[in-house]
Structure 1
Amino acid sequence: MFRRFAAAIPALALVMLLASSGLAHAAALDGAALTWPWALPFIGILLTIAAGPLFFARLWHHHYGKFALAWSVLLMVPLALAYSTGTALAALVHAALAEYMSFIVLLFALYVVAGGILITGNLRGTTTTNLALLGFGTLIASVVGTTGAAMILIRPLLRANAGRAANAHVVVFFIFLVCNIGGALSPLGDPPLFIGFLKGVDFFWTTTHLWHDTLLVTLALLAIFAVVDQIYARRERIALPPAQPLKLKVRGLINLALIALIIGAILGSALWKPDIGFDVLGTRVELQNLARDFALLAIAGLSLWLTPNEHRRNNGFTFEPIREVAILFAGIFTCIIPVLAMLQAGRDGAFSWLIAAVSTADGAPRDVMYFWLTGILSGFLDNAPTYLVFFGLAGGDAAQLMTELAPTLAAISLGAVFMGALTYIGNAPNFMVYAIASERGVAMPSFFGFIAWSTIVLLPVFAVLSWCRF
């Protein structure tokens, strides 16, 4: 993994060299001038991610990086020809430095640190045990992040249910609750809320305004899971070993302190404003963000150094899941460039019909539409930039959004966080958990199979929430 990062240094050096040339003054990509066919590479990479594991699994497993690269090239080359090399490169650098880099560094740090926490014991895959793990994971997700909570608990969950013939549904609900719903109560929980915090939303605003929505959805999903799990258990007629004292042990506790350092690094970067930055092809890279990312990488290195190797071996820890996420999301962040530009163009862009749907004729916000459109787009786009787009459409004034437009901000926040659970790519921990479970031999649903689960289970719950809330 580290060798691959090191191999990227020459490419970064090339970018920095270009930044010092005349390309540094390239025009920004004009979203109002783009038309819908520019979204085809993004649609293509999503369909490839969906179809690859289903129809050509062996080829996909060995060459998914080449597929991601191919779709990226199919976007960037026409973009350079249609506009200019400088414009295309500037757009790519902006996606890499302003959006992707911090995103993947945070995920990498949480993945490595949480992977060093080993929970052992004779957990049995009963409905009660599964409910306890799902509930606990949902509870801590807003404290250690959805990625941290998922990486701490997914392996104990898989071990507890290893003897069951049907266990994929347990992982599906784990993705719903721990990887998404549980992150709604603080900026640490999910990237969209952290974006809002950086834009001026009070740290505890989501805690005080979204707790009842989160509790309602969590209880509803836990109740549905209890019913589904009992149906599977009775169908399998599973014979679990006799109950014994749990004898739970948590090892690698140094990593809990390292997770606290990760939280501190994130909060520190938001509070420390030295007003020092570097311009790279028109993208301003702030010093506090660079310091945060280097600190996160250093914390990950400390975890690898301080944690006994046996803890990771017993966890079945490998770098393959985070590697797959890093490569595929690099392709997604590249192919999404024109889509986000068209959305950010607002009423002047190709998706103006979406913009018109979130407001009435007199300009008042339609909160229910903010909830559903932010949510559905978050399920298929990255939820952080989607949140940012709709935050801007709602006025972008955090003080106003927290007070007189509080229902609108709640709609945007709930949609971005909750509906990241609609697909495997709606939130990065979803795909990481999918990769870990598949690596452990769990017969996970395909991309479309997971959407079927989320359509049947989540959409009715969200429909009830939107009717009650908005």
Structure 2
Amino acid sequence: MIRHLPRHVALLCAGLLAPGLALAADIDGATLSVWWAVPFAGILLSIAIVPLVAPFVWHHHYGKIAAGWALAFLIPFAIAFGPSTAAAGLVHAMLAEYIPFIILLTALFTVAGGIFVRGNLHGSPALNTGLMAIGACLASVMGTTGASMLLIRPLIRANDNRKHVAHVIIFFIFIVSNIGGSLTPLGDPPLFLGFLKGVDFFWTLQNILPETLFLVGALLVIFYVLDTWYYRKEGVIPQDPTPDSPTFGIEGKVNFVLLLAIVGLVLMSGIWNPGIEFDIWGTHVGLPQVVRDVALVAITFISLVVTPQSAREQNQFGWAPMAEVAKLFAGIFLTIIPVLAMLKAGLDGPFAPVVQLVTSSEGQPIPAMYFWATGLLSSFLDNAPTYLVFFNLAGGDPQELMTTLAPVLVAISDGAVFMGAVTYIGNAPNLMVKAIAEDRDIRMPSFFGYMLWSVGILMPLFVITTLIWLR
């Protein structure tokens, strides 16, 4: 049992980090036209543009806009392929992916929101950099979602008397919500999928550590310099609107027990296999998933009941961020169905030109192209299935990929994890952190505004990473 412990522990990622392991509904992507990607592109552009040109409309109707794009896919799809096929795709996306994802995210959001860290926290460049360094270490142990939800509120509270705060949240997304989770299968969903395919538990730590240290270290240095400049520019810091207690302490400690319970439930759902499944319109839902999700809902309510109200009030806990993520990801999870199916079709699908870019004229894989192709697609698509597509395209043999083709597997892993930081939707914690920040009246950049930061800061670092490690 002990020698299998790393594999059992990594199964936590199935619930803690990913919406599901299925690529999409069972649709032959080779038969689809690229036009089926229009609703997905539409919801992305809506997230990017509408808040800029019509902020009032977006604030009050973003759920309706997301639902509109989902229907723009489902209704034509039902007409073209039949209501049964469309219904099966809808049920699969909801039961196998979206609902478990939202239930777990809600549980983490609620439980972490009940933990209030009391102490003399003031958002100096040194403190902010230190919190991000701690978050980067935690991300590979408890996942990018868990680390982000645990630390984002103390970080925001420490900086609530600062004039310039958006850059702090942006770098937090870069470091804690993405790149920090690259060292173990616990850190990010793509690495967990690789582990399930046969990649050794410690392979990523042994092979991706140098570029991870480089990126995290470089980002921490850049952030410290930038934050110091902002800090000095602000001059005398105004009085803290929420002054911290001079003594360190934690309120809502019972939520640490509930966090352990969440971990135990997810671990249970990964290692307990009673062989009992429920077939719901072609989607197989196992008994462990049902037990896990029901128990997670119960834990959410338990946290609300047993947590001291003062802890949530001091955290300024509210449901608006969770509601935004739930509504937007419902639309994303539905409209992404045909896109993932087309990508899964590989050379037989409409995305064949993209797939061909990763292979030389001699038929040899090009690590640098695997990195950029996997990464750029992961910036806009679910990085877990994107990883799996390129993993299989490279041969799908874990032993060969860990040895002879190790540079290719490194490139795929780096691209899927690192470039999730390029957009707000590249990884689940990104949009959640943004929503929490905005709920605390921090003016975050727009979709494209955030990409100006990510492209300007991350892309040069990714180019250096390519030249040094992925040639």
Summarize the Cα distance change of 1:297–1:145 in structure 2 as closer, same or farther, 3 Å threshold.
farther
Q: Which amino acid aligns with 2:27?
A: L
Matched with 1:10 is: none
What CA deviation, in whole Å up to 9, does each residue of 1:66-102 have, x standing for no partner? 0011001011111111111111111222222232233
In structure 1, give the amino acid aligned to 2:429: P
More divergent stretch after superposition (360-369 vs 49-58): 360-369
Residue 277 of structure 1: CA displacement? 2.4
**One-letter amino acid of the structure 2 residue matched with residue 330 of structure 1:** A
Higher mean C-alpha deviation, range 160-169 or range 388-397: 388-397
Shift, 1:291, TM fit: 3.1
Partner of 2:412: 412
Cα distance between partner residues in 2 of 1:298 and 1:402: 41
Cα distance change, pair 205–191 in 1 and its aligned pair in 2 (3 A): same
Aligned match of 1:98 in 96, 102, 117?
A: 96
Task: Note if contact 2:391-2:409 (Cα within 8 Å) is conserved in structure 1.
Answer: yes
**1:198 is matched with which residue?**
196
* Cα distance in structure 1, aligned partners of 2:155 and 2:163: 14
2:222 alignment partner AA: I
Match of 2:307 in 1: 307
Rounded Cα–Cα distance in structure 2 between residues aligned with 1:229 and 1:175: 15
Q: Deviations over 1:331-355 (max 9, x none)?
A: 0011111111110111110000111
Q: What aligned pairs does 1:15-414 form with structure 2 within 5 A after superposition? A: 28-239=26-237, 247-414=247-414
Comparing 294-303 and 159-168, the one that deviates more? 294-303
Give the drift of 1:125: 1.5
Which 10-residue stretch deviates more, 120-129 or 68-77?
120-129
Distance 1:303 1:200, change over 3 A: farther
User: Shift of residue 362 of structure 1?
Assistant: 4.3
Q: Cα offset for 1:188?
A: 2.5
Q: CA deviation at 1:373?
A: 1.2
Cα separation, partners in 2 of 1:192 and 1:297, compared to 1, 3 Å: farther
**Aligned residues of 1:191 and 1:384 also touching (Cα < 8 A):** yes
SS in 1 for 2:168: helix
2:13 corresponds to: none
In structure 2, the partner of 1:460 is 460
Q: Which amino acid aligns with 2:387?
A: Y
Amino acid at match of 1:183: G
Number of residues of Structure 1 aligned to a counterpart in Structure 2:
444
Distance in 2 (alpha carbons) for counterparts of 1:302 and 1:201: 38
User: Residue type matched to 2:225 in 1?
Assistant: V
In structure 1, the gaps of 5 or more residues are 1-26
Number of the residue aligned with 1:451: 451
User: Could you say which residue in structure 2 is the equivalent of 1:24?
Assistant: none
Judge conservation of contact 1:42–1:332 (CA < 8 Å) in 2.
yes
CA contact (8 A) 2:262 2:296 kept: yes
Once structures 1 and 2 are overlaid, which stretch shifts more, 220-229 or 241-250?
Answer: 241-250
Query: 1:100, 1:313 → 2: CA distance?
Result: 29
Further displaced range: 247-256 or 116-125: 247-256
CA deviations on 1:299-318 (whole Å, 9 max, x unpaired) are 33332233222211111111
Alpha-carbon deviation of 1:400? 3.4
* Percent sequence identity over aligned pairs: 55
Deviates more, 1:443-452 or 1:201-210: 201-210
The one-letter amino acid of 1:148's match is: G
| Cα separation, partners in 2 of 1:402 and 1:275, compared to 1, 3 Å | farther
More displaced stretch, 280-289 vs 228-237: 280-289
| Counterpart in the other structure of 1:469 | 469
SS of residue paired to 2:57 = helix
Distance 1:262 1:48, change over 3 A: same
Show CA shifts across 1:134-184 (max 9, x none). 111111112222122112211111121111211111111011111111111
Contact 2:114 2:303 in 1 (8 A): yes
Runs of 4+ with deviation above 4 angstroms: 240-246
Question: CA offset at residue 111 of structure 1?
Answer: 1.2
- Cα distance in 2 for partners of 1:452, 1:228 equals 16
CA contact (8 A) 2:375 2:416 kept: yes
- Asked if structure 1 preserves the Cα contact closer than 8 Å seen for 2:118 and 2:244, the reply is no
Paired residue type of 2:153: R
- Separation in 2, partners of 1:275, 1:407: 38
CA distance in 1, matches of 2:362, 2:297: 49
CA distance in 1, matches of 2:106, 2:204: 25
In 2, distance between residues paired with 1:189 and 1:149?
A: 10
TM-score (norm 1): 0.89
Amino acid at match of 1:440: R
Q: State the distance in 2 between where 1:240 and 1:140 align.
A: 32
Pairwise CA distance, 1:39: 0.7
TM (norm. structure 2) is 0.89
Q: Return the alpha-carbon distance in structure 1 between the equivalents of residues 304 and 244 of structure 2.
A: 33
Match of 1:380, SS state, is coil
